[in-house]
Amino acid sequence: MMDSPEARPLSAAPWLFGRQGIALLALVTALAATFLATDVTYLAGALLLVGLTARAWAALAFVRVTYARRPSRNRAFCGDDLTLESVLENPRLLPLPWAEVWEQLPMALQPEAPRERSFAESDRVWVSRGLAVWPYHRLRWRRTLHCVKRGVYKLGATRIRTGDPFGFFERERLYTDDVQVLVYPRVVPLRGLGLPLHHPSLDVVSRRSHVSDPIRTAGLREYQPYDPQRLIHWPSTARSGSLQVRVLEPATSLHVSLVLDVRGFSFGTYRGELLELTLSAIASMAVFLQSKGAPTAFVANTQVPIIIPPGASVPHLQGVLESLARLTPAAGPSIVPWALDHLPRGNTVVLATSDVSPDLQPSLMQLPDAGLHALLMLAGTDRVRTRVGGAATIPILPGCDVAAVLEGRQ
């Protein structure tokens, strides 16, 4: 039997304590008192008093009562646990002798409690808690949420039911909020990348290399006589009244663009699993590269295309992970030549795609012509060749160990 508010409407009040019943009790009490029928007067008067008290109590049940909730944090990685804290406060003299708190939560967050599936929204469940709230009392309870699936989840509405102490009248109030939980893809720790990543125009250079990257500015400083004129930053010079030059960051050996072709991930038995494994691999690579200070870009041909220019900062990484968390496999433009306009020349491109994506071979052939070193991350159900279209291949198979694949152990 379903007990959630969707399946169980508010119980109707007994007829005797409805409007007509109360009027009848008042008439009987008055007539009995007039004719000195003491027993009838006491009985009808007691019922009248109970009915009026119950109605008044139920009418005032939610006056000044507040409810709020918040998760321990609004962002988490797939596989993390969160704590959802709820608070019900009764800052008045009238108690709530009983209350049912029904919270609607996303099924993907796997709330730790007995659950009833919502038949109105199949991806949500109802969880409940029964309690009593005394005068000037605040109740606080916590519930564990297991983040088992990537995505953006808005916590559903909360329905609280209460009533009079006798249980004759039920009242319900709906509480809504805008609380969202953002679940990033699963990130696996990597000891290294066993992949042929390299910068095609530079040898391996240390983090303190004297070779500068002309497109990456670390900051500004005063002009010195030995500074070339091409480094003068004219807008800052105009504002400050003195010559300002750009300070360039050292060139690194690793400039990577992570490119996702979502075509082919929207159908097939294992496409959902393969998409999540692919996103997990992209997220893990982004985290590892950021820890090494390697500038990383992310591009995806979703229906609303995602374009994140190169960067190596923590906010940049957070932007990449958030885009991955919100990504849906609704395809937009063909990945090539569209992506070529957004990829810096000379980069190593990791093209993540499905083995059923169209135009795979022509796309791979166009990347080297655009001055890009191509590496293919190919998701499929069968073991693929080590090279496709001249590009080294990273196989993503159902149930594979993402860390072992990226480290070259599988």
DSSP state of 111: B
The residue among 249 and 377 whose pLDDT is bigger is 377
Q: How far is Cα of residue 32 from the mean position of the Cα atoms in its chain?
A: 66
Tens-digit pLDDT profile for residues 285-338: 999 998 888 889 999 999 899 999 988 889 999 999 999 999 988 888 888 888
Q: Determine the Cα–Cα distance for residues 178 and 155; give it in Å rounded to an integer.
A: 7
What pLDDT does residue 211 have?
A: 40
What pLDDT does residue 246 have?
A: 78
Number of other CB atoms surrounding residue 379 within 10 Å: 27
The answer to whether 184 touches 321, Cβ cutoff 8 Å, is yes
Fold of 66-184: Immunoglobulin-like (2.60.40)
Spell out the domain ranges in the chain: 15-59, 66-184, 213-250, 256-406
Split at pLDDT 50, 70, 90, the class of 222 is confident
What pLDDT does residue 380 have?
A: 85
400: exposed, middle or buried (Cβ count in 10 Å: 0-12, 13-18, 19+): middle
Split at pLDDT 50, 70, 90, the class of 264 is confident
Fold of 256-406: Rossmann fold (3.40.50)
Tens-digit pLDDT profile for residues 84-118: 999 999 999 999 999 999 999 999 999 988 888 88
Give the dihedral sign, CA 11/16/20/26: negative
DSSP state of 212: E
The residue among 179 and 215 whose pLDDT is bigger is 179
What pLDDT does residue 152 have?
A: 95
What pLDDT does residue 126 have?
A: 93
DSSP state of 13: P
Q: Determine the Cα–Cα distance for residues 312 and 389; give it in Å rounded to an integer.
A: 30
Tens-digit pLDDT profile for residues 119-168: 888 889 999 999 999 999 999 999 999 999 999 999 989 999 999 999 89
Query: Given a cut of 50, is residue 275 above it in pLDDT?
Result: yes
The answer to whether 299 touches 342, Cβ cutoff 8 Å, is yes
Q: Determine the Cα–Cα distance for residues 252 and 292; give it in Å rounded to an integer.
A: 10
Tell which residue, 328, 387, 17, has the closest CA to residue 149.
Answer: 328
